[in-house]
Chains A and B, each alone.
Chain A
Protein backbone atom coordinates (compact mmCIF):
# COMPACT_ATOMS: atom_id res chain seq x y z
CA UNK A 1 0.00 0.00 0.00
CA UNK A 2 1.17 3.46 -0.88
CA UNK A 3 1.57 5.90 1.99
CA UNK A 4 0.37 9.43 1.33
CA UNK A 5 1.41 12.50 3.28
CA UNK A 6 -1.05 13.21 6.07
CA UNK A 7 -2.81 16.54 5.68
CA UNK A 8 -4.20 17.49 9.11
CA UNK A 9 -6.82 19.84 7.62
CA UNK A 10 -8.08 17.31 5.09
CA UNK A 11 -7.44 13.84 6.48
CA UNK A 12 -8.67 12.17 9.62
CA UNK A 13 -7.00 9.19 11.26
CA UNK A 14 -9.10 6.04 11.44
CA UNK A 15 -10.42 5.60 14.98
CA UNK A 16 -9.27 2.43 16.64
CA UNK A 17 -9.93 3.49 20.21
CA UNK A 18 -12.70 3.01 22.73
CA UNK A 19 -16.42 3.26 22.10
CA UNK A 20 -18.95 4.28 24.71
CA UNK A 21 -22.68 3.59 24.89
CA UNK A 22 -24.65 6.45 23.25
CA UNK A 23 -28.44 6.31 22.97
CA UNK A 24 -29.20 8.49 19.95
CA UNK A 25 -32.95 7.84 19.96
CA UNK A 26 -33.18 8.83 23.62
CA UNK A 27 -31.07 11.91 22.82
CA UNK A 28 -33.38 12.81 19.94
CA UNK A 29 -36.47 12.34 22.08
CA UNK A 30 -35.06 14.53 24.85
CA UNK A 31 -34.15 17.19 22.26
CA UNK A 32 -37.70 17.12 20.87
CA UNK A 33 -39.29 17.45 24.31
CA UNK A 34 -36.90 20.22 25.41
CA UNK A 35 -37.38 22.22 22.20
CA UNK A 36 -41.16 21.75 22.37
CA UNK A 37 -41.29 23.03 25.95
CA UNK A 38 -39.01 25.94 25.11
CA UNK A 39 -41.14 26.85 22.08
CA UNK A 40 -44.37 26.82 24.08
CA UNK A 41 -42.74 28.87 26.86
CA UNK A 42 -41.44 31.50 24.43
CA UNK A 43 -44.79 31.67 22.64
CA UNK A 44 -46.68 32.12 25.92
CA UNK A 45 -44.24 34.71 27.28
CA UNK A 46 -43.54 36.76 24.15
CA UNK A 47 -46.27 35.96 21.58
CA UNK A 48 -45.54 37.15 18.04
CA UNK A 49 -46.00 40.38 16.06
CA UNK A 50 -48.77 41.12 13.60
CA UNK A 51 -48.76 44.65 12.25
CA UNK A 52 -51.82 45.02 10.07
CA UNK A 53 -51.26 45.32 6.33
CA UNK A 54 -51.76 48.75 4.83
CA UNK A 55 -53.89 49.29 1.76
CA UNK A 56 -54.04 51.90 -0.96
CA UNK A 57 -57.17 53.02 0.91
CA UNK A 58 -55.34 53.56 4.23
CA UNK A 59 -52.46 55.27 2.41
CA UNK A 60 -54.63 57.68 0.43
CA UNK A 61 -56.74 58.55 3.45
CA UNK A 62 -53.74 59.09 5.72
CA UNK A 63 -51.81 61.14 3.14
CA UNK A 64 -53.87 62.04 0.06
CA UNK A 65 -51.23 64.45 -1.19
CA UNK A 66 -48.48 61.82 -1.14
CA UNK A 67 -50.84 59.43 -2.92
CA UNK A 68 -51.78 61.97 -5.59
CA UNK A 69 -48.16 62.99 -6.15
CA UNK A 70 -47.22 59.34 -6.55
CA UNK A 71 -50.10 58.84 -8.99
CA UNK A 72 -48.80 61.72 -11.12
CA UNK A 73 -45.33 60.18 -11.19
CA UNK A 74 -46.88 56.91 -12.37
CA UNK A 75 -48.75 58.77 -15.12
CA UNK A 76 -45.77 60.78 -16.34
CA UNK A 77 -43.33 57.89 -16.01
CA UNK A 78 -41.07 59.45 -13.39
CA UNK A 79 -41.82 57.01 -10.56
CA UNK A 80 -39.38 54.39 -9.30
CA UNK A 81 -41.39 51.57 -10.84
CA UNK A 82 -41.87 53.40 -14.14
CA UNK A 83 -38.10 53.78 -14.47
CA UNK A 84 -37.24 50.40 -12.94
CA UNK A 85 -36.33 48.42 -16.03
CA UNK A 86 -36.25 44.63 -16.06
CA UNK A 87 -38.17 42.59 -15.03
CA UNK A 88 -41.07 45.10 -15.12
CA UNK A 89 -40.50 47.33 -18.13
CA UNK A 90 -37.95 49.01 -20.38
CA UNK A 91 -38.23 52.31 -18.50
CA UNK A 92 -34.70 52.26 -17.13
CA UNK A 93 -31.40 50.40 -17.08
CA UNK A 94 -31.36 47.24 -14.98
CA UNK A 95 -28.72 46.96 -12.26
CA UNK A 96 -25.36 45.57 -13.17
CA UNK A 97 -21.60 45.94 -12.97
CA UNK A 98 -19.62 46.50 -16.13
CA UNK A 99 -20.94 44.10 -18.73
CA UNK A 100 -22.59 41.93 -16.08
CA UNK A 101 -26.33 42.58 -15.95
CA UNK A 102 -28.29 39.36 -15.50
CA UNK A 103 -31.54 41.26 -15.00
CA UNK A 104 -31.11 42.85 -18.43
CA UNK A 105 -30.18 39.51 -20.00
CA UNK A 106 -33.30 37.85 -18.62
CA UNK A 107 -35.46 40.77 -19.71
CA UNK A 108 -39.01 41.89 -19.00
CA UNK A 109 -41.23 39.08 -17.75
CA UNK A 110 -43.67 40.87 -15.43
CA UNK A 111 -45.17 43.63 -17.59
CA UNK A 112 -45.89 46.79 -15.66
CA UNK A 113 -46.78 49.95 -17.52
CA UNK A 114 -47.46 52.35 -14.67
CA UNK A 115 -49.59 54.91 -16.53
CA UNK A 116 -51.98 52.24 -17.76
CA UNK A 117 -51.81 49.74 -14.90
CA UNK A 118 -51.92 52.15 -11.97
CA UNK A 119 -53.94 55.09 -13.33
CA UNK A 120 -55.82 54.74 -16.62
CA UNK A 121 -57.08 51.14 -16.53
CA UNK A 122 -58.45 51.41 -12.97
CA UNK A 123 -60.20 54.68 -13.92
CA UNK A 124 -61.69 53.05 -17.04
CA UNK A 125 -63.07 50.30 -14.79
CA UNK A 126 -65.06 52.87 -12.82
CA UNK A 127 -68.79 53.29 -13.50
CA UNK A 128 -69.34 55.94 -16.15
CA UNK A 129 -69.27 59.53 -14.88
CA UNK A 130 -69.48 62.36 -17.43
CA UNK A 131 -66.43 64.34 -16.26
CA UNK A 132 -64.20 61.27 -15.94
CA UNK A 133 -65.39 59.78 -19.22
CA UNK A 134 -64.63 63.04 -21.00
CA UNK A 135 -61.23 63.34 -19.35
CA UNK A 136 -60.29 59.78 -20.31
CA UNK A 137 -61.47 60.33 -23.87
CA UNK A 138 -59.47 63.55 -24.12
CA UNK A 139 -56.37 61.80 -22.78
CA UNK A 140 -56.68 58.78 -25.04
CA UNK A 141 -57.19 60.83 -28.17
CA UNK A 142 -54.18 63.07 -27.54
CA UNK A 143 -50.71 62.41 -28.93
CA UNK A 144 -48.04 61.07 -26.59
CA UNK A 145 -46.26 64.45 -26.80
CA UNK A 146 -49.37 66.24 -25.59
CA UNK A 147 -49.95 63.66 -22.88
CA UNK A 148 -46.39 64.15 -21.62
CA UNK A 149 -46.75 67.92 -21.66
CA UNK A 150 -49.97 67.74 -19.62
CA UNK A 151 -48.57 65.27 -17.11
CA UNK A 152 -45.33 67.20 -16.72
CA UNK A 153 -47.15 70.51 -16.28
CA UNK A 154 -49.15 68.92 -13.47
CA UNK A 155 -46.09 67.26 -12.01
CA UNK A 156 -44.08 70.48 -12.02
CA UNK A 157 -46.79 72.17 -9.99
CA UNK A 158 -47.58 69.36 -7.61
CA UNK A 159 -45.23 70.65 -4.92
CA UNK A 160 -47.98 73.20 -4.34
CA UNK A 161 -50.66 70.52 -4.18
CA UNK A 162 -53.38 70.89 -1.57
CA UNK A 163 -56.21 68.66 -0.47
CA UNK A 164 -59.28 70.61 0.56
CA UNK A 165 -62.98 69.81 0.52
CA UNK A 166 -62.17 66.23 -0.42
CA UNK A 167 -60.48 67.40 -3.63
CA UNK A 168 -56.92 67.44 -4.88
CA UNK A 169 -55.96 70.91 -6.09
CA UNK A 170 -52.90 71.89 -8.09
CA UNK A 171 -52.35 75.48 -9.33
CA UNK A 172 -51.96 74.84 -13.05
CA UNK A 173 -54.08 75.45 -16.11
CA UNK A 174 -51.98 73.66 -18.70
CA UNK A 175 -52.46 70.08 -17.49
CA UNK A 176 -55.43 69.21 -19.69
CA UNK A 177 -57.52 66.37 -18.25
CA UNK A 178 -54.82 65.33 -15.75
CA UNK A 179 -56.33 67.17 -12.73
CA UNK A 180 -59.60 65.25 -13.24
CA UNK A 181 -57.78 61.94 -13.67
CA UNK A 182 -55.65 62.39 -10.55
CA UNK A 183 -58.48 63.72 -8.42
CA UNK A 184 -60.80 60.86 -9.43
CA UNK A 185 -58.07 58.30 -8.87
CA UNK A 186 -57.53 59.71 -5.39
CA UNK A 187 -61.26 59.45 -4.64
CA UNK A 188 -61.22 55.90 -5.98
CA UNK A 189 -58.26 55.06 -3.76
CA UNK A 190 -59.87 56.59 -0.66
CA UNK A 191 -62.98 54.51 -1.20
CA UNK A 192 -61.05 51.21 -1.41
CA UNK A 193 -62.06 50.61 -5.03
CA UNK A 194 -58.50 51.03 -6.31
CA UNK A 195 -57.18 48.21 -4.09
CA UNK A 196 -59.75 45.94 -5.65
CA UNK A 197 -59.19 47.17 -9.22
CA UNK A 198 -55.43 46.58 -8.99
CA UNK A 199 -55.80 42.91 -8.09
CA UNK A 200 -58.82 41.90 -10.14
CA UNK A 201 -57.51 43.10 -13.50
CA UNK A 202 -56.74 39.47 -14.33
CA UNK A 203 -59.98 38.01 -13.05
CA UNK A 204 -61.94 37.17 -9.92
CA UNK A 205 -59.38 35.01 -8.17
CA UNK A 206 -55.94 36.28 -7.49
CA UNK A 207 -53.14 35.68 -5.08
CA UNK A 208 -50.76 38.01 -6.92
CA UNK A 209 -50.31 41.41 -5.30
CA UNK A 210 -47.58 42.72 -7.61
CA UNK A 211 -49.44 45.82 -8.76
CA UNK A 212 -50.73 47.21 -5.46
CA UNK A 213 -47.40 46.44 -3.76
CA UNK A 214 -45.41 48.21 -6.47
CA UNK A 215 -47.75 51.21 -6.31
CA UNK A 216 -47.39 51.31 -2.49
CA UNK A 217 -43.61 51.07 -2.80
CA UNK A 218 -43.49 54.23 -4.95
CA UNK A 219 -45.12 56.34 -2.25
CA UNK A 220 -43.69 57.54 1.06
CA UNK A 221 -46.33 56.12 3.39
CA UNK A 222 -45.09 52.50 3.43
CA UNK A 223 -41.46 53.60 3.75
CA UNK A 224 -42.22 56.06 6.57
CA UNK A 225 -43.99 53.36 8.57
CA UNK A 226 -41.05 51.03 7.96
CA UNK A 227 -38.54 53.65 9.08
CA UNK A 228 -40.42 54.08 12.37
CA UNK A 229 -40.05 50.34 12.91
CA UNK A 230 -36.33 50.49 12.04
CA UNK A 231 -36.84 48.29 9.00
CA UNK A 232 -35.18 50.59 6.47
CA UNK A 233 -32.30 49.37 4.33
CA UNK A 234 -29.94 51.91 5.91
CA UNK A 235 -31.07 50.93 9.41
CA UNK A 236 -29.86 47.29 9.23
CA UNK A 237 -33.56 46.71 8.64
CA UNK A 238 -33.19 43.28 7.09
CA UNK A 239 -32.31 41.90 10.54
CA UNK A 240 -35.17 43.56 12.35
CA UNK A 241 -38.73 42.66 13.21
CA UNK A 242 -41.67 44.96 13.86
CA UNK A 243 -42.07 45.94 17.49
CA UNK A 244 -39.43 44.71 19.91
CA UNK A 245 -39.37 41.09 18.83
CA UNK A 246 -36.07 39.53 17.77
CA UNK A 247 -35.72 39.42 14.03
CA UNK A 248 -33.46 37.60 11.63
CA UNK A 249 -29.99 37.86 13.17
CA UNK A 250 -28.70 35.34 10.62
CA UNK A 251 -29.06 38.01 7.93
CA UNK A 252 -26.43 40.22 9.53
CA UNK A 253 -23.92 39.81 6.71
CA UNK A 254 -26.51 40.35 3.96
CA UNK A 255 -27.59 43.65 5.47
CA UNK A 256 -24.07 44.75 6.52
CA UNK A 257 -23.06 45.62 2.96
CA UNK A 258 -26.02 47.98 2.54
CA UNK A 259 -24.54 50.17 5.30
CA UNK A 260 -21.15 50.82 3.65
CA UNK A 261 -19.84 52.25 0.39
CA UNK A 262 -19.73 51.49 -2.44
CA UNK A 263 -22.84 49.38 -1.87
CA UNK A 264 -24.88 52.15 -0.30
CA UNK A 265 -23.88 54.77 -2.87
CA UNK A 266 -24.11 52.79 -6.10
CA UNK A 267 -27.22 52.73 -8.31
CA UNK A 268 -26.52 49.00 -8.62
CA UNK A 269 -26.09 48.49 -4.89
CA UNK A 270 -28.40 45.48 -4.76
CA UNK A 271 -26.50 43.74 -7.55
CA UNK A 272 -23.19 44.38 -5.80
CA UNK A 273 -24.51 43.06 -2.48
CA UNK A 274 -25.96 39.92 -4.02
CA UNK A 275 -22.82 39.32 -6.06
CA UNK A 276 -20.67 39.67 -2.94
CA UNK A 277 -22.93 37.36 -0.96
CA UNK A 278 -22.93 34.73 -3.71
CA UNK A 279 -19.15 34.69 -3.65
CA UNK A 280 -19.03 34.45 0.15
CA UNK A 281 -21.70 31.76 0.11
CA UNK A 282 -19.68 29.72 -2.36
CA UNK A 283 -16.67 30.12 -0.08
CA UNK A 284 -18.70 28.85 2.87
CA UNK A 285 -19.93 25.83 0.92
CA UNK A 286 -16.47 24.96 -0.40
CA UNK A 287 -14.44 25.58 2.78
CA UNK A 288 -13.16 21.95 2.79
CA UNK A 289 -11.43 22.58 -0.52
CA UNK A 290 -9.86 25.95 0.25
CA UNK A 291 -6.33 25.76 1.69
CA UNK A 292 -5.71 28.35 4.36
CA UNK A 293 -9.38 28.71 5.18
CA UNK A 294 -9.65 25.03 6.10
CA UNK A 295 -6.59 25.46 8.38
CA UNK A 296 -8.31 28.04 10.57
CA UNK A 297 -9.92 25.50 12.95
CA UNK A 298 -6.55 23.86 13.62
CA UNK A 299 -4.98 27.27 14.28
CA UNK A 300 -7.87 28.56 16.40
CA UNK A 301 -7.48 25.54 18.70
CA UNK A 302 -11.06 25.57 19.94
CA UNK A 303 -10.99 21.84 19.17
CA UNK A 304 -8.60 21.30 22.05
CA UNK A 305 -11.40 22.36 24.43
CA UNK A 306 -13.97 20.11 22.72
CA UNK A 307 -11.73 17.03 22.80
CA UNK A 308 -9.71 17.88 25.93
CA UNK A 309 -10.26 14.49 27.56
CA UNK A 310 -9.21 12.69 24.40
CA UNK A 311 -5.98 14.69 24.21
CA UNK A 312 -5.37 14.27 27.94
CA UNK A 313 -5.67 10.50 27.54
CA UNK A 314 -3.68 10.17 24.34
CA UNK A 315 -0.98 12.72 24.86
CA UNK A 316 -0.06 11.70 28.42
Chain B
Protein backbone atom coordinates (compact mmCIF):
# COMPACT_ATOMS: atom_id res chain seq x y z
CA UNK B 1 0.00 0.00 0.00
CA UNK B 2 2.71 2.39 1.09
CA UNK B 3 1.64 5.86 0.19
CA UNK B 4 -1.48 6.71 2.16
CA UNK B 5 -1.57 8.83 5.31
CA UNK B 6 -2.94 6.23 7.71
CA UNK B 7 -0.16 7.07 10.13
CA UNK B 8 -1.09 9.98 12.33
CA UNK B 9 -4.62 8.54 12.56
CA UNK B 10 -5.75 6.73 15.70
CA UNK B 11 -7.26 3.98 13.55
CA UNK B 12 -5.15 3.04 10.57
CA UNK B 13 -7.30 2.54 7.47
CA UNK B 14 -4.30 2.58 5.14
CA UNK B 15 -4.54 -1.05 4.07
CA UNK B 16 -6.55 -2.93 1.49
CA UNK B 17 -10.20 -3.04 2.46
CA UNK B 18 -12.26 -6.04 3.45
CA UNK B 19 -15.29 -6.86 1.36
CA UNK B 20 -18.54 -8.66 2.03
CA UNK B 21 -19.61 -10.68 -1.01
CA UNK B 22 -22.94 -12.33 -1.75
CA UNK B 23 -23.68 -13.54 -5.27
CA UNK B 24 -22.92 -10.52 -7.46
CA UNK B 25 -23.17 -8.08 -4.54
CA UNK B 26 -19.93 -6.81 -3.10
CA UNK B 27 -19.62 -4.05 -0.52
CA UNK B 28 -16.72 -2.83 1.54
CA UNK B 29 -16.99 -3.28 5.29
CA UNK B 30 -16.59 0.49 5.77
CA UNK B 31 -19.42 1.30 3.33
CA UNK B 32 -21.58 -1.36 4.96
CA UNK B 33 -20.94 0.21 8.36
CA UNK B 34 -21.93 3.64 7.00
CA UNK B 35 -25.14 2.30 5.45
CA UNK B 36 -26.11 0.34 8.56
CA UNK B 37 -25.46 3.47 10.64
CA UNK B 38 -27.72 5.46 8.32
CA UNK B 39 -30.57 2.98 8.65
CA UNK B 40 -30.15 2.80 12.44
CA UNK B 41 -30.04 6.60 12.67
CA UNK B 42 -33.19 6.87 10.57
CA UNK B 43 -35.06 4.39 12.76
CA UNK B 44 -33.86 6.04 15.98
CA UNK B 45 -34.86 9.46 14.64
CA UNK B 46 -38.35 8.13 13.94
CA UNK B 47 -38.95 6.52 17.31
CA UNK B 48 -36.93 8.56 19.80
CA UNK B 49 -39.08 10.92 21.87
CA UNK B 50 -38.64 14.58 20.96
CA UNK B 51 -38.26 17.04 23.84
CA UNK B 52 -40.63 19.96 24.59
CA UNK B 53 -44.38 19.69 24.96
CA UNK B 54 -45.17 23.31 25.82
CA UNK B 55 -47.48 24.93 23.34
CA UNK B 56 -49.52 28.01 22.98
CA UNK B 57 -51.98 29.25 20.48
CA UNK B 58 -50.27 31.48 17.93
CA UNK B 59 -51.42 35.09 18.33
CA UNK B 60 -53.43 36.17 15.24
Contact = CB atoms under 8 A, between A and B. Distances in A.
Find out whether A and B make contact in their complex, taking CB atoms under 8 A apart as touching.
yes
Interface of A: 18-21, 44-52, 228-230, 235-236, 239-247, 249, 259-260, 302, 305-306
Contacts of B30: 241, 244-247
Contact of A50 (B4, B24, B31, B35): B4
A20 B52 contact: yes
9 contacts: A18-B57, A45-B10, A47-B6, A48-B5, A230-B26, A243-B4, A244-B13, A245-B17, A246-B28
Contact of B27 (A47, A236, A242, A244): A236
Interface of B: 1-6, 8-11, 13-19, 24-31, 33-35, 38, 46-47, 52-58
Q: Name the residue in B3, B47, B53, B57 with the highest tally of chain A Cβ atoms < 10 Å from its Cβ.
A: B3
Contacts of B27: 236, 239
A51 B9 contact: no
Nearest to B50: A309
A28 to B, nearest CB: 16
A19 B17 contact: no
Nearest to A264: B24
Contacts of A242: 4
Contacts of A52: 2-3
Contact of B9 (A21, A45, A229): A45
B26 A236 contact: yes
Contacts of B24: 259-260
B55 A240 contact: no
